[in-house]
Amino acid sequence: MTHRNSLPVTDEGYSATAIGLHWLIAALMVCGFSLGWVMTSIHGFTPAKLRYVSWHKWIGVTVFALAALRIVWRATHRAPALPPGMPAWQRASAHLVHVLLYVLMIAIPITGYLFSSASNVPVVYLGIVPLPRLIAPDPTLKVVFKTAHLVLNWSLAALVLAHVGAALKHQWIDRDGLLARMIPCLKRKPKKLDFKQLQQK
Please give the pLDDT value at position 173. Answer: 82
Question: For residue 29, which phi and psi values (nearest 5 degrees)?
Answer: -65, -40
Q: How far apart are CA 6 and CA 177, in angstroms?
A: 9
Please give the pLDDT value at position 192. Answer: 46
Ramachandran assignment for 175, one of left (phi > 0), alpha (psi -120 to 50 degrees), beta (any other) = left
Please report, for the chain, the start and end positions of each structural domain, with discontinuous segments joined by +.
Answer: 16-78+96-187
Q: How far apart are CA 79 and CA 98, in angstroms?
A: 12
Instruction: Select from 48, 27, 28 the least CA-distant residue to 38.
Output: 48
Topology at the third CATH level for domain 16-78+96-187: Fumarate Reductase Cytochrome B subunit (1.20.950)
- ∠ CA 22-25-27 to the nearest 5 degrees? 105
Q: What is the mean pLDDT of each run of 10 residues along the chain (201 residues)?
A: 42 80 94 92 88 94 96 88 80 90 96 95 92 92 96 94 85 74 66 46 47
23-33 burial, b at 16+ Cβ within 10 Å, e below that, comes to eebbebbeebb
CA dihedral sign of residues 10, 14, 20, 25: negative
- SS3 label, residue 59: helix
- SS3 label, residue 183: coil
The CA-atom distances, in angstroms, between 25 and each of 17, 100, 106, 182, 193 are: 12, 15, 12, 13, 41
The predicted model scores a pTM of: 0.81
Q: How far apart are CA 113 and CA 121, in angstroms?
A: 10
Please give the pLDDT value at position 102. Answer: 94
Q: How far apart are CA 130 and CA 135, in angstroms?
A: 15
Please give the pLDDT value at position 188. Answer: 54
**Which secondary-structure segment (H or E) carries 131?**
strand 129-131
Please give the pLDDT value at position 69. Answer: 95
